[in-house]
Each structure stands twice: as C-alpha cells, then as structure tokens.
Amino acid sequence: MTQYDYIVIGAGSAGCVVANRLTEDSQTTVLLLEAGKEDTKPEIQIPLECTNLPGTEVDWKYFSEPEPYINNRKMFCPRGKALGGSSSINFMVYMRGNHHDYDHWQELGNPGWSYQDVLPYFKKSENQQRGACKYHSVGGELSVTDLPTPTAISQRFVEAAVAMGYDYNPDFNAMQQEGVGSCQFTIKDGKRHSAAAAFLLPILKRPNLTTMTAALVTRLLFEGTRTVGVEYIHQGTLHQARVNSEVILSAGAFDSPKLLMLSGIGDAKHLQAMGISVLVDLPGVGQNLQDHILIPVVHQATQELHPATTSNGISEVGMFVHSEENRDVVPDLQLFFGAIPWSPPGYAHVDSGFTGTGILTHPQNIGSISLGSPDPKDAPMIQMNYLQSQSDVQKLVAGIKLLRNLFHSSAFDEFRGEEIAPGAEVSSDQALEAYVRGVCGTVYHPVGTCKMGIDPMAVVDPELRVHGVEGLRVVDASIMPTITTGNTNAPTIMIGEKAADLI
C-alpha cells in the first residue's frame, strides 16, 4: 500500500491550490484524488460556453429534494466533476466578497480570518491585469482580467444606474463593494483560467505529486481517532492509500460532509439510522447549508447584441445595492447584467436579448446535507429551504422592480424590446411574488456545511481541523460560517491558500 505525506480529496478550487503549495517542498509527497476526469472537454475553455456545461459529463448533476417554499420544485444544483471542480464549469466571475464578511467570521470565534488577515491570501494567488496596488498583486498563478470586448449594451446598464444616482464602482474587490461597474473574470488569453489551469497543470510533472482522476473516495480510514488514509474506487477496483501527516478533504459543500458522514463523523442519530458506526458525534456535519438565490428579468432586444466568446454572457457588469429595508452594513442585493436572453423554463426563448438577475447576497434560509443511503456512489440528499423567509421574497421582488426601472430608462431605448420574463402583465406584488417562487434559481454557491468555529455546531476549528479527530482538515467552501457577499470561487481559492499556510 502506497504512503504519502498528504492526501488531498478533490481537485477543485481549494484542492488544486493546496496540492500546488504543499508540493513546493520537494521532500513532501502528495496524492491528489479527483472523482471526475481530466478537464479536456473543449467547451470548458470557451467562456461563453459556461451556460452549456451544467448537466453534462463534467457535472455531478445533483438535484435538491422538493423545496417546500418554491412550489415543491427540485432545484438543479450543478457541481463540477473534473479537474478544477466547479471552477471548470462556473461563470468565472472574480468576486472576493465584502470586508465585513471576514471580520464577521472572526467575530464568530475564528481568529486569523478577518479581512486584514485574508487579504494577503487573495493577493498571493492573483495576477491582476490592472497591476498591483494595496488590494491587488501581479505574478500570482490566477489570471484576473477585464473583458477585452464588452458589449455596448453592458455600458448602457452602467450609465442607467449612474443616472439613477448609484455610485460608479471601478473595482468591487477594492475599498468598497457598493455601486455599479464592470466585473472581472478568471480568464487568460481568452480562455477559462480554472483552478486546474492556474494551479495544477503547471505542476503536474512534479515528482512528489501523484494526481489520479476518476477516483471516487468511499471513506476515510482511522486508527482510533487518528486519520491514517483513504479508501477509493478506481477503474472498478477498491484501493487504499495511507497518509503520514494529514488528509485534506476538499470535496465541496455537498460531498465533504457526505464523506465525513460515510466515515462515521456526523450526527450520531442520522449515522445510526444509516447503519454507519459512529466515530465522532458531530451534529453540525451537513448543517448550515447556505446558497445565493437569483431571479431573472429577461428582455427581447431590438438588434443583435453579439456577446464575445471571451465573455460569459451573463455578468459583464453588475452592482451591489442596499434594498430599502436593509439596515445591515453589507449590500443585500447583487445585480448582474449580460447580453444573452436567459429565459427561465416555461418562458419564450428569443435569439437576441438581455438579462438582468437580482441575487440575494445573504438569504435567511438555512439548509442541510444528509445521506440518502450508506452507498458512496449515491448522491447526498440536499435540502436548501429556499425562500423560507418572506423577507427574502420581498427583497427579490425589490430586485425585479429595480431592474425594470433600469431597463425602462432612456439608456436602453434603442435596445429594449418586449419583456419576456416575468412579462409586462406581471405587475402586482402578489403576481411578482408568485413569479419569484415559481422561477427563482440558484447561483451555484453552496457553502457552510462543515462550518468553522468553536460552537457546538462547528465542524472544524479556526485552523480547519475537524473537531474530535486528528490528521484531518476540511479545506473548501463548506468551512464558511456565513456565505460571502457575492460569488464564492475567489474566497474558496483564498481558503486553499490560507489552509496551505496553516498546514
């Protein structure tokens, strides 16, 4: 049986970073196990193809259980299944979140995670096209760029918002987050720059790194409460690998808690009901599931808009705003705008159009992950509880109204055709609420299911070590105690950077 110093489970946004940093020491051996295959699907590299990747062979194709507050719909929950993980199928938006997100993590009992503490790790990875400054750096592995050819209509969105009194914000990742401006992307030379492209492909020839794809980890191996290795299926055969130092679990917000539970770490009653021997009764495993939720406003366009292949089409520009009821310090609405018609199911599809999406940055619903069976090949049970809170619905309705105001401003006069969704006839608050519950979708940002902290529901400590066992850390978006304000990929890469230092 082969022995390694470290075994990293999952070659996603955090796992690729950890594998890269740990193997910088030529004396340290690392086994990186990825359940998906290599990231060779051509569409992965083409930014505008990002909307066509969910549901293909590079996606786990997960669905939630019927969601009681959104008409019992089962929500589609894509997760990347290839080298790069979800960074190989995401929309490539580089968004760090709000300074207060990280200060709040520290206030919750996680020293070392304030904004000032994590900023150096954001900068460490970054190769910022705009150059270095207090908030950005150059020379890192991850390419962060502006769109080379944004569509003309995206600039109209910015003009409309500024005319309505919103601040122009040249950089959502610098001093402040509120306002309207252009997004930045993890794109390099016109191609997607996933965590695999940035952190893994350049180091695959390191002799101290063993990378194995199509390797499904079935359980963690323990002697007492010490983690000693992993069991995995590769090419139809069950294998074991042993570890000298630590196992790093980077399988994501759905599969990291699933693997902990399969290995006997989780809520004792749930594990016993599944016939799994309890190693550590840790009730927080799989709890605290959080995600961003969106609602689209779609218009037909009166002319061709021609989004470039180097664009993701969905979020060329965006804005962060406070809704009227929001007294919190962080914006509660994130808006995206793009030059493609992203019609929800059941609505007309048009060839040329534009879409604005209203996104809740901090929805109040909390969901959970549990086991549907003790079979590692079975998907986890996902319950999101989207729109459990009426105030969340009201905020999304406010987002629709704001987008409509923007789209009906003079800046859009030469582009604005018919409103496809929700449709001009959907105007009362009651009708808009019905639209929100019937159509809302996920922004594909699940986090929080192995949360960091010191309270009874925490799964890992502030150094990301799993409570109750030795030699095991969780390093991915599941450790977030609360979801960040905005897209979650850049924060997950930061978590990988900080974890590598901690290890």
Q: What is the distance between the alpha carbons of residues 5 and 223, in angstroms, rounded to a whole number? A: 17
CB 78 within 8 A of CB 62: yes
Q: What is the distance between the alpha carbons of residues 148 and 230, in angstroms, rounded to a whole number? A: 45
Q: Which of 100, 408, 445, 467 is catalytic?
A: 445
Give the helix/strand (H/E) hosting 113: none
CA-based nearest residue to 473, from 488, 463, 482? 463
CB 228 within 8 A of CB 221: yes
Q: Where are the beta strands (DSSP E) in 68-225?
A: 73-77, 126-128, 142-144, 179-182, 187-188, 191-192, 209-212, 215-223
Tell me the C-alpha to C-alpha distance, in Å, between residue 180 and each of 106, 131, 201, 337, 485: 28, 21, 35, 11, 15
3-state secondary structure of 422: coil
Evaluate the omega torsion of the peptide bond into residue 148 and state whether it is cis, within 30 degrees of 0: no
CB 354 within 8 A of CB 339: yes
Tokens of 202: 């350049």
> If DSSP states are collapsed to H, E and C, what string results for 189-218?
CCEECCHHHHHHHHHCCCCCEEEECCEEEE
Position 44: which residue type?
I
CB 281 within 8 A of CB 267: yes
Whether 292 is catalytic: no
Position 359: which residue type?
I
Give me Rg for the CA atoms of the chain: 22
Helix (H), strand (E) counts: the chain: 10, 24
Question: Residue 295: how many CB atoms within 10 A of its CB?
Answer: 26
Look at the chain and count its residues. 503
CB burial string 380-412: b at 16+ within 10 A, e below: bbbbbbbbbbeebbbbbbbbbbbbbebbebebb
CA distance between the termini of the chain: 24
Just list the catalytic residues.
Answer: 445
